[in-house]
Amino acid sequence: MDTVFIEGLEVDTVIGAYDWERGIRQCLRLDLTLGWDIRPAAANDELDKALDYAKVAAAIDRFAEAAHFELVETFAERLAADLMAEFGIAWLRLRVTKPGANARARALGVEIERGCR
């Protein structure tokens, strides 16, 4: 299976378990690898048969804007399910990093894989 990737996409969302976090928006950094057969798009150079990066990024922005979760795990699970359903993605790997979550670490977060490769 081919893959399409988006690395280092930053979104602002409400995320966190502490009261002070519930009143602010924080940055999350997303790295996605999406299973996608690129052959139909490449055969005749047809954008409508490709996984449109701009549409995927816009869907992620909408999701992050509306999200209000305590856990990065919940953010990752729900976003993965939404993207797979909306775009017909059979498999994905999603890494969600919360920069600044710990002063001694560059970043913390989760990485999940969903679907069949």
* Encoded amino acid at 31, one letter: D
Q: Identify the active-site residue in 98, 106, 109, 113.
A: 98
For residue 14, what are the domain limits?
3-115
Q: What per-residue confidence (pLDDT) applies to 103? A: 84
Tokens 């999406």 belong to 34
Q: What per-residue confidence (pLDDT) applies to 106? A: 85
Please indicate whether residue 98 is annotated as part of the active site: yes
CATH number for the domain harbouring residue 13: 3.30.1130.10
- As a whole number of angstroms, the longest Cα–Cα distance in the chain is 53
Please, is 54 exposed, middle or buried when counting C-beta atoms within 10 Å of its C-beta (0-12, 13-18, 19+)? exposed
Number of domains in the chain: 1
Residuewise pLDDT in 10s, the chain (117 residues):
899 999 999 999 999 998 888 899 999 999 999 999 999 999 999 999 999 999 999 999 999 999 999 999 999 999 999 999 999 999 999 999 999 888 898 889 999 999 998
Cα distance between residue 48 and residue 51, in whole Å? 8
Of residues 83, 16, 19, 91, the one with CA closest to residue 53:
83
